Amino acid sequence: MKIITVKASKNYNITVTNGFSDFALSVMPLIKGEKVAIITDTNVAPIYFDAVKNLITNKMVEKIVIHAGEESKNATTYIEVVNNLSNLGFTRKDTVIGLGGGVVGDLAALVASTYMRGINYIAMPTSLLSM
């Protein structure tokens, strides 16, 4: 596990791991609230969703799956995801995880930054480009 600190207007850490072996040490401390929404796509969900969900302990985990590909970067998909969070009762105290490539990362980050004026966000990129 390697931790890189980014010095910006608000410092933050980037944790680089090989697989999920360091999940409990690197990701669990970042999860806030009682609920976790994992936003992923139709390509990534069948491969990684269950593995990530099973590592998250003592939290209610919800899956939000979008269609894979650039065509999902649109207002309709954004509104659907925000509506899902609202219908599931997510608050500003909860957490969104973007599990996937660039489209998922972009969408999940936008949702997290705007839902209730900001909700905790964790990026879990699954492609080199999205990293």
Mean pLDDT per block of 10 residues along the chain (131 residues) reads 92 85 86 97 97 95 97 97 98 97 96 97 90 82
Q: What pLDDT sits at residue 21?
A: 80
Tell me how far apart the terminal alpha carbons of the chain are, to the nearest angstrom: 15
For residue 128, the model assigns a pLDDT of 84
Is-contact 37 107, C-beta < 8 A?
A: no
35 neighbors 59 (Cβ within 8 angstroms): yes
- pLDDT attached to residue 22: 84
DSSP state of 103: H
- The predicted pLDDT at position 16 comes to 86
Neighbours of 129 (CB within 10 A): 8
| Cα–Cα distance for residue pair 45/51, rounded to 1 Å | 10
Q: What is the pLDDT of residue 17?
A: 83
pLDDT at 129: 83
- pLDDT at residue 26 in the model: 86
